[in-house]
């Protein structure tokens, strides 16, 4: 006997096997199963409250769903491609177990609002897992920053030595990025946490439903207020993927720096062996595979963002089959981000900082030149004039193969009579750092204050 679909009475011939395979989504949307059951139970409870389901039907649905949930968790559920998706697989199994009560469950809803609800439930749970993981990575970075609040390193612009900073200050830059990332995720959650269920296929339902009651049962903050919008838009998924892309871009930037810093030509850090691999041919190699993969996976997540935007860009209202394609990029985005945050938090605890190499690099690029210019301005010389004076001094020092701090006083005074012997307090990296003692500055005291402020913020 030909398998009957939920909609098969309309058609005069069965769906081809190729179409079944092409249109089925159960091989990936089965991960929504527990959320589908959660939503169905809330819907059934609401229908019972509205007088649509009897006491016996509700009890049967609850008992049958409990058995199905156990089967799924035990890996014993028989997922069938011919039933298309997670929703029909669960509904058919429920009907097989409890009879007509299972057929009544779908009263007042459609797969359109059902799947939109399931995705929101799933995505809400993902965000609730991701925000603490961002917090854990921030903690790893804060611990590293605290250990190196005084460690001098060159700050770069255009990958050229610019001014001295501390390694702690550098790590705090990424802490700030991640703080904004966590804020974006939490803000995105507010728009995810709105209930589509009750919109039915696109126009609502004729049954006396109570959507706010269902929303309360499922922990939603509000309902979607337009039935067409509720079933058809995936902007909440796009917004999440955009927020995830920014996290990955931030971690890709840090990955690029870790890769550069670990190179023997730079030698600022070492990454613990457990996060690296070797070469099949070169026995000396220690490759920073984890940050390289993070750098690569950032492109993967950004690609998912583009895919979701393109998926939605030309869809007329309301639901279209195109939206089946929302799940795989969304699922992979969350999986990739969660895995990346977990491994990164651990990896940053395995960073060894090579202080001597960092300080030596500061002395290679005339990093205190701006400090000398500021020194002359404080002595009364206009900044543009002081800039020219220091540029000449740098050119001279470069020709001599020495740092500015290594020029004797008489030589420095040859560039400006305003220079006195107190100039050497600003020409050392430590002196440069100490003078930037303001909120957001790189002075060690400010680095420690910034760390303390971050630790006091909610996780």
> Catalytic residues, which ones?
158, 279
155 φ, ψ to 5°?
-90, 145
Quick one: tokens of 251?
């971690």
Q: What is the DSSP string of 368-388?
A: THHHHHHHHHHTT--HHHHHH
Q: Are 297 and 330 in contact (CB under 8 A)?
A: no
Burial 288-313 (b: 16+ CB within 10 A, else e): bebbbebbebbeebbebbebbeebbe
Enclosing H/E stretch for 352: strand 351-353
- Alpha carbons 188 and 181: distance in angstroms, whole number: 10
Buried b (16+ CB within 10 A) or exposed e, 112-121: bbbbbbbbbb
> DSSP letters of 236-255?
HHHHHHHHHHHHHHHHHHHH
Beta partners for 161? 156
Measure the CA dihedral 433/436/440/444, to 10°.
40
Helix, strand or coil, per DSSP, at residue 39: helix
The CA distance from 431 to 425, in Å, is 6
Residues 6+ apart with CB under 8 A from 392: 415
Is residue 165 within a helix (H) or strand (E), and if so which, with residue range? Answer: strand 160-166
d(CA 245, CA 23): 28
The residue among 151, 162, 304 whose CA lies nearest residue 234 is 304
Q: Are 166 and 155 in contact (CB under 8 A)?
A: no
Residues 6+ apart with CB under 8 A from 59: none
Cβ atoms of residues 238 and 310 within 8 Å: no
């Amino acid at each position: 006997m030909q398998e009957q679909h939920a909609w098969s009475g309309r058609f005069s011939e069965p769906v081809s096997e190729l179409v079944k395979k092409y249109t089925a989504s159960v091989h990936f949307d089965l991960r929504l199963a527990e959320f589908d059951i959660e939503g169905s139970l809330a819907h059934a409870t609401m229908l019972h409250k509205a007088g649509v389901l009897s006491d016996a039907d509700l009890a049967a649905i609850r008992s049958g769903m409990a058995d199905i949930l156990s089967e799924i968790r035990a890996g014993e559920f028989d997922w069938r491609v011919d039933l298309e998706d997670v929703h029909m697989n669960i509904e058919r199994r429920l009907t097989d177990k409890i009879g007509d009560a299972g057929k009544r469950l779908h009263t007042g809803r459609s797969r359109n609002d059902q799947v939109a609800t399931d995705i929101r439930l799933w995505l809400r749970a993902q965000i609730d897992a991701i925000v603490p993981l961002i917090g854990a990575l921030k903690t790893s970075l804060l611990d590293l920053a605290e250990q190196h609040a005084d460690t001098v390193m060159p700050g770069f612009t255009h990958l050229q030595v610019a001014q001295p900073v501390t390694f702690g200050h550098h790590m705090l830059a990424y802490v700030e990025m991640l703080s904004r990332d966590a804020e974006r995720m939490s803000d995105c959650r507010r728009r995810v946490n709105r209930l589509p269920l009750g919109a039915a296929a696109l126009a609502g339902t004729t049954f006396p439903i109570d959507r706010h009651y269902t929303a309360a049962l499922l922990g939603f903050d509000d309902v979607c207020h337009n039935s067409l919008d509720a079933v058809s838009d995936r902007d909440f998924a796009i917004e999440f993927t955009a927020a995830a892309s920014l996290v990955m871009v931030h971690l890709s930037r840090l990955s690029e720096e870790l890769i550069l810093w670990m190179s023997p030509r730079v030698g600022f850090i070492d990454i613990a062996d457990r996060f690296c691999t070797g070469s099949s041919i070169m026995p000396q190699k220690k490759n920073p595979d984890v940050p390289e993969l993070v750098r690569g996976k950032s492109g993967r997540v950004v690609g998912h963002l583009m895919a979701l935007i393109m998926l939605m860009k030309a869809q007329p209202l309301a639901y279209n089959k195109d939206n089946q394609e929302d799940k795989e990029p969304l699922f992979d985005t969350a999986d990739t981000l969660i895995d990346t945050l977990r491994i990164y938090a651990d990896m940053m605890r395995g960073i060894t900082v090579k202080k001597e190499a960092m300080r030596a690099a500061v002395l290679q690029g005339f990093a205190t030149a701006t400090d000398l210019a500021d020194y002359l301005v404080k002595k009364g010389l206009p900044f543009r004039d002081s800039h020219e004076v220091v540029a000449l001094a740098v050119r001279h020092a470069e020709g001599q193969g020495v740092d500015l701090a290594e020029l004797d006083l008489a030589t420095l005074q040859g560039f400006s009579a305003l220079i006195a012997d107190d100039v050497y307090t600003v020409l050392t990296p430590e002196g440069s750092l100490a003078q930037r003692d303001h909120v957001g500055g790189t002075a060690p005291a400010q680095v420690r204050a910034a760390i303390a402020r971050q630790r006091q913020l909610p996780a």
